[in-house]
Chains A and B, each alone.
Chain A
Amino acid sequence: QKEVEQDPGPLSVPEGAIVSLNCTYSNSAFQYFMWYRQYSRKGPELLMYTYSSGNKEDGRFTAQVDKSSKYISLFIRDSQPSDSATYLCAMINYGQNFVFGPGTRLSVLP
């Protein structure tokens, strides 16, 4: 079993839809959870990060962590064509290095 699993997509949604992106992980020692967005031919850029279980909201984006289920989600409300990108989840245990999911490619169609 891979440490972090993520549906690679592609996921296509119409503009304005609510998007749900998910990752599961196997290492219960992971403490910090992040979502990176990567546009085509660009480097990943940090979108959101969180430490504990629960929800964190930032504008149209909500990050959700359920440590008991080893499951994290990113919700995008009112999705826009400019949200079309690959979304990578990442997680880390204190003092260790990052483990990235393989990314989900999202297309928001106008």
Chain B
Amino acid sequence: DTAVSQTPKYLVTQMGNDKSIKCEQNLGHDTMYWYKQDSKKFLKIMFSYNNKELIINETVPNRFSPKSPDKAHLNLHINSLELGDSAVYFCASRHSSNAGLAKNIQYFGAGTRLSVL
């Protein structure tokens, strides 16, 4: 049973389209993240949600909007897709309420490979 699952795994679309990526975690975590990994494998955080509140928002274009219907889900909606949006997008989660080191461990989904043509 997958702990952090993302759909779709692959997404090929044309410039200007709007698309969504979904993420669900069954670990009971209260914090979820979206990361973008570029072709050089650099993993950059985009958003973080804790208890349905956006707690960080790195300098990403406002075409990207995270939506969290509940603490088990964090979806990513992208408007007006651009060529530079092509990357692998990873969802991750962790339990920020646990004491000690364990609360800092993030668990990642398998990624969504987005190609914008």
Partners in one complex: yes
The answer to whether A102 touches B41 (Cβ under 8 A) is yes
Chain A residues with Cβ below 8 Å from B108 are 36, 43-45
A interface, over-half SS: strand
* Binding stretch for chain B, among A11-19, A21-29, A60-68, A92-100: A92-100
* Size of B's binding interface in residues, CB under 8 A: 22
Residue of B nearest to A9 (CB): B41
**Residue contact A44 to B104, C-beta cutoff 8 Å:** no
Cβ B101 vs Cβ A103 within 8 A: no
In the bound complex, residues from chain B placing their C-beta under 8 Å from that of A97 are: 33, 45, 48, 56
Check if A71 is an interface residue, CB within 8 A of chain B: no
Given A38-B41, A42-B111, A49-B104, 7 more A-B residue pairs with CB atoms under 8 Å apart are A8-B40, A43-B90, A97-B33, A100-B42, A102-B40, A102-B41, A102-B43
B residues 64-117 near A (Cβ < 8 Å) are 90, 92, 101, 104-111, 113
Dominant SS among interface residues on chain B: strand
Residues of B with Cβ closer than 8 Å to A? Answer: 4, 33, 40-45, 48, 56, 90, 92, 101, 104-111, 113
Q: What's the tally of chain A residues with a CB closer than 8 Å to chain B?
A: 24
Give A contacts to B, CB under 8 Å: 8, 32, 34, 36, 38, 41-46, 49-51, 86, 88, 90, 92, 97-98, 100, 102-103, 105
Cα–Cα distance between A38 and B40 once the two chains are bound (Å)? 13
Whole-angstrom distance from the CB of B69 to the nearest CB of chain A? 22
How far, in whole Å, are A90 and B106 apart by their CA atoms in the complex? 10
Assess whether A88 is in contact with B43, with CB atoms less than 8 Å apart.
Answer: yes
Q: A41-B111, A43-B90, A43-B109 are in contact. Are A32 and B42 (CB under 8 A)?
A: no
A–B complex contacts, Cβ < 8 Å, 30 sampled = A8-B40, A8-B41, A32-B104, A34-B104, A34-B105, A36-B108, A41-B111, A41-B113, A42-B111, A43-B4, A43-B92, A43-B109, A44-B108, A45-B108, A46-B105, A46-B107, A49-B101, A49-B104, A88-B41, A92-B104, A97-B33, A97-B45, A97-B48, A97-B56, A98-B104, A100-B42, A102-B40, A102-B41, A102-B42, A103-B42
